[in-house]
Amino acid sequence: MDGVITIFDTTTGKQITVFSGHTDKVNILTFSLDGRSLVSGSNDMTVKLWDMQTGGIVRTFAHSGAVWSVSISPSFTIASGSSDGLIQLWDGQTGECHHTIRQQSHVQHVSFPPIDPQHLLSVSSSKVWRWDINGHQVGHTFDSYYTAFSPDGTLLAACNKTAIIVQNFNSGAIIAELHVANHNARCCCFSPDNRLIAVAAGNNAYIWIVSSEPCLIETFIGHTRGIRSLAFSSPSSLISLSRDNSVKFWQIGTPSIDLVMADPGSTPLASAESKVITLQPKDRITTTSGTNGVVKIWDISTGLCKGFFQIPAKNICQKDSQLINGRLILVWCTDKKINIWDTKKGELLFAVDGMQLEDIKISGDGSRVFSLDPFSIQAWSIQTGDFAGRVEINYSSEIGSLTVDGSRVWAYHTGSGYQGWDFGAPGSSAIQLLDVPPDRIDLNSLWDTDSSEIKNKVTEKVIFQVPKRYGKPVDMQWNGQYLVVCFEPAEIFILDFSHVYAP
């Protein structure tokens, strides 16, 4: 609200400098094609042209209303749209106003086509207008309240409520139709290579592959209020600005193996939830999966998404995933069957019969799958699908979840605690264990959900302060050094405790 413009490094996310000059909130920013100039529009009814090297104001252009949108052409003409209903075309070199266009109401958006700087698009009264450089209307209007051009100028995207239409700018032929549920699409942008389009709807950002059969590949969830603006900083990096006063830097995952779809002819489900975490510190990764079948692989060191997959099933309750010899193996339960999927091959390895399953886990060595039903723990071979053992459990009421460590597995119940067995080598009988899982987190002792603090249990020093809006974690994994925590709906924390426990 103070009119300050903050410049960030898109690689590190660190603040580089600030530009001061506006006296009220800055609504819009845009760079010139060569990156040497920045244009800003503000509620103080001015447009400012900035020198990126010095941070100084080159020129100030005046409106009679709040400036909501600006655009700069390759020929250095600046267009500005305001709440006063005017579009003004300025000469960036001399500061002279060449033309003024009067719209029916406030101007929501203006943009120059990259390959046609002699024309301008504007959005007013939820309609798109096309003008020539002399301020004359060209052609007919169409419904939309935001437009975006691809970097090469060949594609135009128009946001209209829950639909985004991508069309060829010259011919008008529709390339793709994208749809978002429940929220109006407020803005969009293309990646530098024209391959992806990002759309902001509500608090979330959605990423599609642009084609005649568009593919939704990512949903970014983390803002607590609506997203105001989006921009790609590279073909795989997105920046979002929100009304929650935060800027977030997102890494778009690049699948290391083919993306697997439940139905090749349909749009995949958005990765809106993460419910289950698998931590693999030796491989420096953690995987997360949700009820919609989307699985993501995260780099523990950087926190970046390394890959994403959608398994061919929906409304999944129990699942697990693990990277085994470079292959991501997924297991899940549907219709009382245990399904084992190899993402590298893109095929179902085995489907074995089970009972009413409460939990399912892959063994720590990647050789077996353990399942938990109301009466037993059972094991199957991942390589062959053969039955590999069964032990009965004695719970008088509802059972809980499984924890695995190598060939050892524990079932947990809040009333009875842990019961564990070592299944040892394939073919041998399971041996009951007397201990509890190593490095198992006592949630109540480590995580103070009232104060949202993680404390060193010895010194009582606060190690990490969790934002209070997150509440109690959905799932967490701990190996003595790394703590990976999942919150609803899709926020993941990766904490390294090595500096805390180092001698």
Q: Which domains does the chain have, with CATH numbers?
A: 1-143 (2.130.10.10), 146-252 (2.130.10.10), 439-503 (no CATH)
If pLDDT is split at 50, 70 and 90, which confidence band does 190 have?
very high
Q: Does the pLDDT of residue 90 top 90, yes or no? A: yes
Q: For residue 81, which of 73, 90, 91 has the smallest C-alpha distance?
A: 90
**Residue pointed to by tokens 């599609």:** 208
Note the pLDDT of residue 267: 31
Note the pLDDT of residue 452: 66
CB contact at 8 A, 324 and 341:
no
The one-character DSSP state at 210 is: -
If pLDDT is split at 50, 70 and 90, which confidence band does 197 have?
very high
For the beta carbon of residue 107, count every other beta carbon within 10 angstroms: 29
Neighbour-count burial of 112, counting CB atoms closer than 10 A to its CB (0-12 exposed, 13-18 middle, 19+ buried) = buried
Residue 221 φ then ψ, to 5°: -125, 130
- The 10s digit of each residue's pLDDT in 236-252 is 889 998 888 888 888 88
If pLDDT is split at 50, 70 and 90, which confidence band does 49 have?
very high
Least confident of 97-111, 370-384, 453-467: 453-467
Least confident of 76-80, 304-308, 338-342: 304-308
Per DSSP, the residues of 374-409 read: SSEEEEEETTT--EEEEEE---SS---EEEEETTEE
Note the pLDDT of residue 261: 30
Arithmetic mean of pLDDT, 465-488: 71
- The 10s digit of each residue's pLDDT in 118-145 is 889 888 888 888 898 888 888 888 888 8
Helix H or strand E encompassing 72: strand 67-72
Q: For residue 411, which of 394, 386, 427, 423 has the smallest C-alpha distance?
A: 394
Distance CA 50, CA 39 (A): 6
Start-to-end CA distance of the chain, whole Å, equals 46
Q: For residue 188, which of 89, 272, 305, 109 has the smallest C-alpha distance?
A: 109
Beta bridge partners of 57: 50
**Amino acid identity for residue 131 in this structure:** W
Q: For residue 158, which of 138, 133, 141 has the smallest C-alpha distance?
A: 141
Distance CA 28, CA 289 (A): 37
Arithmetic mean of pLDDT, 111-120: 84
Per DSSP, the residues of 434-500 read: SS--TT---HHHHEETTTTEEE-TTT--EEEE--GGG-S-SEEEE-SSEEEEEETTTEEEEEE-HHH
- The 10s digit of each residue's pLDDT in 357-386 is 778 888 877 788 888 877 788 888 887 888
If pLDDT is split at 50, 70 and 90, which confidence band does 317 have?
low
396 or 57, higher pLDDT: 57
Note the pLDDT of residue 447: 60
Arithmetic mean of pLDDT, 267-274: 40
Neighbour-count burial of 326, counting CB atoms closer than 10 A to its CB (0-12 exposed, 13-18 middle, 19+ buried) = exposed
Q: Does the pLDDT of residue 257 top 60, yes or no? A: no
Note the pLDDT of residue 60: 94
Distance CA 255, CA 296 (A): 9
In degrees to the nearest 10, what's the CA dihedral of 470, 295, 225, 12?
90
Mean residue pLDDT across the chain: 78
Q: Which residues contact 424 (CB under 8 A, 6 or more apart)?
A: 407, 430, 431
Note the pLDDT of residue 182: 63
Neighbour-count burial of 69, counting CB atoms closer than 10 A to its CB (0-12 exposed, 13-18 middle, 19+ buried) = buried
Note the pLDDT of residue 259: 33
Note the pLDDT of residue 87: 92
Length reported for the chain: 503
Angle at 166 between CA 163 and CA 171, to 5 degrees: 135
Least confident of 85-94, 152-161, 168-177, 216-225: 216-225
If pLDDT is split at 50, 70 and 90, which confidence band does 333 have?
confident
Helix (H, G, I), strand (E, B) or coil at 118: coil
**Averaging pLDDT over each range in 2-11, 310-319, 450-459, which range is the top one?**
2-11
Distance CA 142, CA 233 (A): 30
Helix (H, G, I), strand (E, B) or coil at 293: coil
CA 496 to each of CA 89, 261, 262: distance values in angstroms, whole numbers, following the listed order: 53, 34, 35
- Farthest-apart Cα atoms in the chain, separation: 87
- The 10s digit of each residue's pLDDT in 24-41 is 999 999 998 888 999 999
Note the pLDDT of residue 297: 77
Percentage, residues of the chain above pLDDT 70: 76
Arithmetic mean of pLDDT, 170-193: 85
Distance CA 124, CA 81 (A): 9
Distance CA 353, CA 360 (A): 13
Note the pLDDT of residue 88: 94
Q: Which two tokens stand for residue 9?
A: 């490094």
Note the pLDDT of residue 347: 72
Helix (H, G, I), strand (E, B) or coil at 270: coil
Note the pLDDT of residue 258: 34
Note the pLDDT of residue 503: 34
Distance CA 1, CA 23 (A): 9
Q: Which two tokens stand for residue 24?
A: 């009220």
